[in-house]
Amino acid sequence: MSTETLNYSRDRSALAVVLSDFWHEFKQNHGALAGLVVMGLVVLMAVFADVIAPHSPIEQYRTAMLVPPVWQDGGSWEFILGTDSVGRDLLSRLIHGSRYSLYIGLIVIFISLTVGVMLGLLAAFFKGFVENLIMRAMDIILAFPSLLLALALVAILGPSLENAMVAIAVVLIPHFVRITRAQAIAELGKDYVAASQTMGAGVGRLMFINVLPNCMAPLIVQATLSFSTAILDAAALGFLGMGAQPPTPEWGSMLAVAREFILTASWLVTLPGLAILITVLSINLIGDGLRDALDPKMKRGKA
Amino acid sequence: MFSFLIHRLMILIPTFIGVTLAAFAFIRVIPGDPILVMAGERGITPERHAEMMTAFGFDKPIWEQYFSYIWQLLQGDLGTSIVTKQPVLEEFAALFPATIELSICALIVATVIGIPAGIIAAVKRGSFFDHSLMTLSLTGFSMPIFWWALLLIVFFSGFLGWTPVSGRISVMFYFDSVTGFMLIDSWLSGEEGAFKSALSHLILPSIALGTIPMAVFARQTRSAMLEILNEDFIKTARAKGLSNFRVIVVHAFRNALIPVITVIGLSVGVLLAGAILTETIFSWPGIGKWMVDSIFRRDYPVVQGGLILIAGIVMIINLTVDLCYGLIDPRIRNKR
């Protein structure tokens, strides 16, 4: 029993060392910290949207259509960021929109990461036919411009937020497959894998317990960057009318509706786009920080 | 070099066959009746339905459909648009120059600004310029380009009134297309003001489309330059007493070219994807807008043919980029 505890505590401290090392590297990067703070605020906004938002995101105030933001002539404190063409409060719609963006990002990453890692591991472990089949299929997906493929997929599946998420996930899968495969092949050549194999570990154990944890660093970075791509692409699909459908307060589809008021009510165009930009920028800042902190090659470059 | 080319083609050909298979499967994986899906909410009479089934060959077995489709493809027949009744290839050929013109201009904007900015940032590492440039470039990279395009329109077309909002040239000019490139055609036409009009229509879309590549080029150039500037041969070059400019441009930048060419090559796919949004917003009559319109009109032969053509172009460009590395760096072409 005492050895068990000893092992356990040693593992714990090893993990703690890795994490504190990581945090030490990460906090050197002021941009990444700023990104983390902003992203934290966006998450809080999404979680407490019902509490924070002053109005309902879909209620139409027929007496207050196209009210400008409070700092412009004719603006009022009741609708701080103004209202849209049917009198919905823009601030409330933006706050609720953060839910959709995070939801889209999380679901897309979940699908593409899971499928991508599975396919990548299969390709690394089963060389020959399986590997060729998977990698050529990924080449085919990568041969199409991503947004075009997503657009075509949504056109087949029917325009909706769920189908847009599936389409974007499909387009992002190849990146995860390639990274997982390359990383797993490098790990498979190492002694600890051979040792585990000699001790009778099965393919499943080798894949998930031995190899996968050592492939995590680049996958985490890729997942972060894909998170921002997913938000951007979903907004683009929404903008083209192939994503979230009105009256959903999704930022991209809000921009699509606002397009006709571009010269008369510019706040309807500038603010949702700014929301997308700030969210995506903060995720990308975090992604940069993660890459610098996790990538050993970058560390050497710095020294 | 020759075996390198053959090796690359051996990978390319099965991938292209896969692309045709994917585009072929496109209409056929839709649950339900493809003709009804194409008809959409308009509905369709039973006679027309039977006619269309025969016209598309949906009444034949699936493998027979695929082979006759491949056979037509090999003869350069990509099908006929349901809406315009024009052959897909002809429509594509008519619109493609507009997209090339826009993409080349976007690429010029991105290269001319992005690469020198990246070089300066690397040389003045840690300076105010470096920090601002990296922040700006990450912002550009995070920009939803459809929104950025709208902002450009609000400011330059709406507020300042400098540039037109849409199209390739003012409607008052009319001349026959010689090259398909509006800048060259308007120049050749000799009509006064035509070239200026074409150029002013091109500026905003080029900036909108060029922003993301510009950000990527600046970042990539900076990091490639930083790596090279630490190398010993740069110290040697400096020790020889070469001018700073010569060390940076001739010695360092030439060696940083490979990663930079890689990103330029890879950005072609990005440009084509960006062209979908940019062309839609600026009503630019290129293949991006054509694909979006066709998807909305449920003109599936066009979508199918367009997907194959665009994927083919992306693959050829990627192959060219690969061959370029082989030419620049013998280590790559001799590696298996």
Q: How far is CA B83 from CA A49, B73, B298, B299, B300, in A?
A: 45, 20, 9, 7, 10
Are residues B147 and A273, on separate chains, in Cβ contact within 8 Å? yes
Which of the four pLDDT bands, split at 50, 70 and 90, describes residue A203?
confident
Are residues B141 and A284, on separate chains, in Cβ contact within 8 Å? yes
Whole-number pLDDT of residue A303: 31
Does A144 contact B at CB distance below 8 Å? yes
Higher model confidence: residue A78 or residue A212? A212
The mean pLDDT value for A125-148 works out to 90
Closest chain A residue by Cα to residue B151? A270
Whole-number pLDDT of residue A226: 92
CA distance B165 to B144: 19
Neighboring chain A residues of B141 at a CB cutoff of 8 Å: 284
Q: Return the closest-CA partner of residue A289 out of A23, A56, A7, A2.
A: A23
Total number of domains in chain A: 1
Does A298 contact B at CB distance below 8 Å? no
A94: how many CB neighbours lie within 10 A of its CB?
21
CA angle A294, A298, A302 (to 5 degrees): 125
**Has residue B336 got a pLDDT over 80?**
no
Query: Which long-range CB contacts under 8 A does A242-245 form with residues at least 24 apart?
Result: A242/A151, A242/A154, A242/A155, A242/A159, A242/A164, A242/B295, A243/A154, A243/A159, A243/A160, A243/A161, A243/A164, A244/A100, A244/A160, A244/A161, A244/A164, A245/A159, A245/A160, A245/A161
**What is this model's ipTM?**
0.84
CA distance B238 to B250: 12
Chosen for mutation from A147, A263, A276, A292 (greatest number of chain B CBs closer than 10 Å) is: A147
The mean pLDDT value for B136-145 works out to 90
To which residue do tokens 């001319």 refer? B112
The mean pLDDT value for B84-106 works out to 90
- What is the fold, at CATH topology level, of the domain defined by B88-296? MetI-like fold (1.10.3720)
Answer yes or no: pTM beyond 0.90: no
Q: How many CB pairs under 8 A join A and B?
A: 119
Helices (H), B282-299: 287-296
Q: What percent of chain B has pLDDT over 70?
A: 92
Nearest CA distance, B230 vs chain A (angstrom):
9
Closest chain A residue by Cα to residue B293? A240
Q: What percent of chain A has pLDDT over 70?
A: 93
Which of the four pLDDT bands, split at 50, 70 and 90, describes residue A41?
very high
Neighboring chain B residues of A252 at a CB cutoff of 8 Å: 144
Which of the four pLDDT bands, split at 50, 70 and 90, describes residue B334?
low
The mean pLDDT value for A251-270 works out to 86
Q: How far is CA B289 from CA A6, B83, B99, in A?
A: 65, 15, 9
Whole-number pLDDT of residue A49: 87
Q: Do the beta carbons of residue A208 and residue A148 sit within 8 Å?
A: no
Q: Residue B186 belongs to what H/E stretch?
A: helix B182-189
Least confident of A108-122, B209-223, B264-278: B264-278
Whole-number pLDDT of residue A300: 40
The mean pLDDT value for B100-114 works out to 92
**Has residue B194 got a pLDDT over 90?**
no
Are residues B310 and A252, on separate chains, in Cβ contact within 8 Å? no
Q: Return the closest-CA partner of residue A223 out of A278, A179, A166, A163.
A: A179
Are residues A262 and B150, on separate chains, in Cβ contact within 8 Å? yes
Tell me the average pLDDT of chain B: 83
pLDDT tens digits for range B8-44: 788 888 888 889 888 888 777 766 666 776 676 666 7
Joined together, the tokens standing for residue B264 give: 């330029």
**Has residue A2 got a pLDDT over 50?**
no
Neighboring chain A residues of B29 at a CB cutoff of 8 Å: 156
Neighboring chain B residues of A34 at a CB cutoff of 8 Å: none
**Has residue A265 got a pLDDT over 80?**
yes
- Angle at which helix B88-123 crosses helix B128-141, to 10 degrees, equals 160
Domain of residue A275, residue span: 3-302
CA distance A233 to A224: 14
The mean pLDDT value for B103-120 works out to 92
Chosen for mutation from A144, A255, A297 (greatest number of chain B CBs closer than 10 Å) is: A144
pLDDT tens digits for range A60-88: 888 877 788 878 877 778 888 888 888 88
B40: how many CB neighbours lie within 10 A of its CB?
11
Nearest CA distance, A20 vs chain B (angstrom):
26
pLDDT tens digits for range A90-106: 899 999 999 999 999 99
Q: Do the beta carbons of residue A235 and residue A272 sit within 8 Å?
A: no
Whole-number pLDDT of residue B159: 79
CATH (domain of A260): 1.10.3720.10
Neighboring chain B residues of A277 at a CB cutoff of 8 Å: 139, 142-144, 147
Are residues A144 and B18, on separate chains, in Cβ contact within 8 Å? no
CA distance B211 to B217: 10
Neighboring chain A residues of B311 at a CB cutoff of 8 Å: 143-144
Least confident of A50-54, A130-134, A275-279, B94-98: A50-54
Does A145 contact B at CB distance below 8 Å? yes
Phi, psi of B335 (to 5 degrees): -80, 140
Least confident of A139-143, A187-191, A281-285, B296-300: B296-300
Are residues A262 and B158, on separate chains, in Cβ contact within 8 Å? yes
Close Cβ partners of B184 (under 8 Å, ≥ 6 residues apart): B178
